[in-house]
Amino acid sequence: GAGVSQSPRYKVAKRGQDVALRCDPISGHVSLFWYQQALGQGPEFLTYFQNEAQLDKSGLPSDRFFAERPEGSVSTLKIQRTQQEDSAVYLCASSLGGVDSGANVLTFGAGSRLTVL
Amino acid sequence: GQNIDQPTEMTATEGAIVQINCTYQTSGFNGLFWYQQHAGEAPTFLSYNVLDGLEEKGRFSSFLSRSKGYSYLLLKELQMKDSASYLCAVTDSNYQLIWGAGTKLIIKP
């Protein structure tokens, strides 16, 4: 597609519910990143995929967080048993090359705003 | 640890010039990015510096000094639509992007 598409844009969940956030990157983009952004803060890295391989998941805050990109295109971030501290905007970004390919410019989606009550 | 510092908020007048500073301490350096983020929207790419010096792109310029661990973003002829957060990010030796908290720029008429 023309840009990075994320859904849902807004999600309200009760504490303890599972949620799934979807990211549809730009077609042909090799790299895909998930970030968590709190209000007034910069993006915090969660995980990185190169094609279908999850090369770095060091930023996932707990084992309740799981991400996949099974066919190297669409990715899903799943959060199990949501907690209030999970409330944030979840940003997805994609880039044409790998992380070590020079000026690796990221194109971001508009984000999914998760509110856990 | 790795750290990116930028001012939390700045105010400037329409038509004026503003300079947003960014200092960084990272394990290695493989480039510095500036992104613009309007409230509730996605960050969008503004500039990339990997060598020392000034990169100019229309009303926006970005400067880098690797020896000082310092960059700035210069915005000229400010317009109301430039009101946004400006994010500085550095690629470290592992090619991981380290982000600053962003500088909220308020433009007044």
Report chain A (117 residues): mean pLDDT per 10 consecutive residues.
90 98 96 94 94 95 96 96 97 89 88 97
Q: How far is B43 from chain A (nearest CA, A)?
A: 6
C-alpha–C-alpha distance, residues A108 and A59, integer Å: 18
Q: Tell me the torsion sign for CA atoms B41, A41, B91, B31.
A: positive
pLDDT of amino acid B60: 97
Q: For residue A8, is the peptide bond before it cis, meaning its omega torsion is within 30 degrees of 0?
A: yes
* Angle in degrees, CA A100, B102, B109, rounded to 5: 130
Looking only at the bridges linking them, the beta strands covering A112-116 and B32-37 are: unpaired
CB B13 within 8 A of CB B78: yes
**In this predicted structure, what is the pLDDT of residue A1?**
54
pLDDT 10s digits, B46-97: 999 999 999 999 999 999 999 999 999 999 999 999 999 999 999 988 888 8
| C-beta of residue A24 within 8 angstroms of C-beta of residue A108 | no
| Four-point Cα dihedral A94, A101, A105, B91, nearest 10 | 100
Which residues from A are below 8 Å from B41, CB to CB?
Answer: 110
- Chain A residue numbers with beta carbons less than 8 Å from the beta carbon of B87 are 42-43
| Pick from B98, B78, B79: nearest CA to B88 | B98
Q: What's the mean per-residue pLDDT of chain B?
A: 95
* pLDDT score of A13: 97
